[in-house]
Amino acid sequence: MPRRYALLSVSDKTGLVDFARGLVEQGFTLLSTGGTARALAESGLGYVKVADHTGAPEIMDGRVKTLHPRIHGGILARRGIDEAVAEAQGIAFIDVVAVNLYPFEATVLSGADEATVVENIDIGGPAMVRAAAKNHARVHVVVDPLDYPSVLDAVATDDLPLRRRLAAKAYRHTSTYDAIIARWFGSEEPFPAELAIPLRKVQGLRYGENPHQHAAFYASPLEAGRSLASARQLQGKELSFNNLGDLDAALRVAFDLPGPGCAIIKHANPCGAAVHEDGLVAAYRLALSADPVSAYGGILALNRRVTGEDAASILASKVFYEVIAAPGLDDEARRLLATRANLRVLELPGDWGRSTPPGHDARRVQGGYLLQDWDSEPAGEWRSVLREPTAEELAALRFAWAVCANVKSNAIVLARGEEGGLVVNGVGAGQMSRVDSVRLAVEKATRPVPGSVLASDAFFPFPDGVATAASAGVTAIVQPGGSIRDAEVIDAARAAGMAMLLTGARHFRH
């Protein structure tokens, strides 16, 4: 009976020795090299060096070890077809290939220099994995130590479905590896003709937006900074699909606010947001008062480290939140929040507010993806087209604009100053007509509308929205401008004695 060979070359040594021992017990001869060979030797397991098997030495500081016909021929040989050529070339069939790749990603994240990173681009490993996956009808390919037990159980059987699953996993492994390398190299083109986006599963989710939809959360490797995958959950149930979507929206608002503050999100839109010069306690009270009914079951994001005093104020409000997230919590805050067992608490990296979202903003559509730059404010000064706003109005307008940019379009946000802080005073989100968004924001106001300011994420196509705001007592408006009826819109504001600032940039968010 011909010898059965298994080729082992892994950077992750988890479970290696037990797997190798199990193969030997089933009559396999082990082929190995490098660190894997040393691990086998240290465990007392016999093996054949790849160089001895091929008759060719490792060369170029180990860059060329397995790129040889006796390796790839052994992996790719078709049993019952290629025996004659294999015998003529001295090629032995290889039935098991266990390979995982040079730690390229870990090398990049370690801050290594470029030359070291490049040396950790694996060439032989992906080639062997892809060859074994192609020949999965005859070869078991293993890239994940978690699969070692099932392979040991199956090497004596004709378990083609398992080999096919392993092949699919192998191709996902190498394609993700290559995509990470491509991402590291970057591109002079912001939107190249071909784009590979590496994704790695962070966690399975109980369901998607609705219970009948399956779902999971994936993150892109090498994308540090403002990444939800880098948030650390301190307590509570696993995050759901909707939790993660709303959390993303909450963090967008909270960390765009001009000062210590927080945002309360419900169904991807802010129902409350505020900043206050005295800190989070005062800001939280203002934010909650903006819409205490809608806040129930929402997401609370705070843009400063949470203290025990802050946590006590949140708990004293007796509002149920699905998630609370902040860039750090002190010991007393953690202790107090832990008294709410079902409350999910997330700690963000401390530099969250100083970093920017990585990569592109992406949206899945049927059959493809839409990619765009992240929405950040283009450089440029706001332009006053009527009277100059007061200092108080200008502060409120800048606050309202920051919130409005993160509201579903058509978006209208009312805001006002109050006792050293700034607070949302009504939101009109996602309406098909901009004037209806204005009406909705006015209806949702929990404070007097007279004296409030208004932000609109896009221009007013007609003067009716401005007229509706004026009749409710709004004193100042910030909007992009650019409508063919700008003159009529500005005249409506002039007639009401309003201030109006044009930003020149809109913030649609669909």
Same fold? 4-185, 383-502: no
pLDDT score at 86: 79
pLDDT tens digits along 104-148 = 999 998 889 999 999 999 898 999 999 999 999 999 999 999 999
> Among 216-220, 323-327, 505-509, which stretch is predicted with the lowest mean pLDDT?
505-509
pLDDT of 61 over the 80 cut:
no
| Whole-Å CA distances, 162 to 19, 299, 440 | 17, 43, 57
Cα dihedral 364, 207, 236, 319, rounded to 10, equals 80
- Rounded CA separation 8/235 (Å): 40
Which residue ranges make up each domain of the chain? Answer: 4-185, 230-355, 383-502
Closest CA to 361 of 344, 348, 376: 376
| Residues catalogued as catalytic | 134, 267
Where in 104-256 does DSSP place strands (E)?
140-142, 200-205, 215-219, 232-235
**Single pTM value for the model:** 0.87
Tens of pLDDT, residues 373-400? 888 876 678 999 999 999 999 999 999 9
Residue 403: closest CA among 388, 425, 372: 425
58-72, 98-112, 335-349, 357-371: range with lowest mean pLDDT:
58-72
Please report the pLDDT score of residue 379 as a whole number. Answer: 62
State pLDDT tens for residues 80-110.
Answer: 888 888 788 888 899 999 998 989 999 998 8
Does residue 347 contact residue 464 with C-beta atoms inside 8 Å? no
Q: Which residues have a Cβ under 8 Å from the Cβ of 255 and sit 6 or more positions away?
A: 226, 301, 303, 352, 353
Query: Domain spanning 230-355: which superfamily?
Result: AICAR transformylase, duplication domain (3.40.140.20)
Does 221 score more than 60 pLDDT? yes
pLDDT value of residue 143:
95
The residues that bridge with 99 in the sheet, in sequence order, are 9
| 373 against 427, higher pLDDT | 427
User: What's the Rg (C-alpha) of the chain?
Assistant: 30
Q: Given this model, what pLDDT does residue 373 score?
A: 87
CB 243 within 8 A of CB 323: yes
**Amino acid identity for residue 449 in this structure:** V
Long-range contacts of 102-107 (CB under 8 A, 24+ apart): 102/11, 103/11, 104/177, 104/180, 104/181, 104/184, 105/180, 105/221, 105/222
- pLDDT bin (cut points 50, 70, 90) of residue 1 is very low
Inter-axis angle of helices 160-185 and 124-134, nearest 10: 150
The backbone region for 490, taken as left when phi is positive above 0, alpha when psi lies in -120 to 50, beta otherwise, is alpha
Number of other residues whose CB lies within 10 A of the CB of residue 198: 20
Residue 234 is predicted with a pLDDT of 95
Average pLDDT, integer, range 231-246? 94
Compute the average pLDDT of residues 289-299: 95
Across the range 286-305, mean pLDDT stands at 95
Query: How far is it, in rounded angstroms, from Cα 337 to Cα 324?
Result: 9
- The answer for residues whose C-beta is within 8 angstroms of residue 215's C-beta and 6 or more apart is 204, 205, 206, 207, 208, 209, 241
Of the candidate CATH numbers 3.40.140.20, 3.40.50.720, 3.50.50.60, 1.10.150.120, the domain formed by 383-502 belongs to 3.40.140.20
Half-sphere exposure of 377 (CA within 13 A, CB side): 16
Cα–Cα distance measured from residue 52 to residue 108, given in angstroms and rounded to the nearest whole number: 33
User: The domain at 4-185 falls in which architecture?
Assistant: 3-Layer(aba) Sandwich (3.40)
Q: Is pLDDT of 288 > 70? A: yes
Read off the pLDDT of each residue in 241-267 and give the average, rounded to a whole number. Answer: 94
Average of per-residue pLDDT across 437-444: 96
The per-residue pLDDT of the chain, averaged, comes to 92
